[in-house]
Amino acid sequence: MVCLISRSGRELQRYNMGRRQVVGCIPYRYKNGNDSSINDELEVLVISSQKGQGLMFPKGGWELDESVEEAAMRESLEEAGVVGKVECELGRWHFLSKSQGTFYEGHMFPLLVKEQLDLWPEKDVRQRFWMTVDEAREACLHWWMKEALDILVDRLSSPSRSEENVATSSL
């Protein structure tokens, strides 16, 4: 069962040296071929901002009662309506919020999507779009999210990742 209400408020927000900590995910999958087989074409999921000012990856505040991975999973569910496996952190960025005029610390994770829900907490205020990496890089509003996307692509295309996938699939 999935909770269809997003968390709100800042009472439980984490801060590090005065910077609000936010956590995001890059939801990804491998595109299905015409014969329903999975091929190597990577797709990532972007969402519209609540104010309708462009596209981004799901992200939001990291709260005191959850791990960073739990926050990443929660934001992906609340904002994009996807669930899956949170993988190793892509990195940490410091950036200035244009709307708030304050500095934030952002953590980004890959999320290998296992399920896409028809109903999710922010369905009525956001749209979601599966895109190629190049399309997402062009469409994404935030420089730090684009950097995280590049790190994800490098990680997924590295020979060690390919060997890991082969080893896992042969078990």
State what percent of residues in the chain have pLDDT above 90. Answer: 64
Using CB atoms within 10 A of its CB, is residue 81 exposed (0-12), middle (13-18) or buried (19+)?
buried
As given in the structure block, the two tokens for residue 99 are: 């709307």
Report the C-alpha gap between 58 and 108 in whole angstroms: 10
pTM value? 0.82
pLDDT higher at 148 or 54:
148
Per-residue pLDDT, 126: 94
Q: What is the pLDDT of residues 141-167, one digit of tens each?
A: 899 999 999 999 999 987 765 444 433
Q: Is the pLDDT of residue 1 over 80?
A: no
Q: What is the pLDDT of residues 55-83, one digit of tens each?
A: 999 999 999 999 999 999 999 999 999 99
Fill in the amino acid letter for 74. R
Per-residue pLDDT, 157: 87
Q: Three-state SS string across 143-159, please?
A: HHHHHHHHHHHHHHHCH
Q: Is the pLDDT of residue 133 over 70?
A: yes
pLDDT higher at 124 or 167:
124
pLDDT higher at 5 or 86:
86
Helix H or strand E encompassing 22: strand 19-32
Give the CA distances from residue 122 to residues 6, 7, 12, 15, in Å, rounded to whole numbers and listed in that order: 7, 11, 20, 25
Q: What is the pLDDT of residues 87-116, one digit of tens each?
A: 999 999 998 877 767 889 999 999 999 999
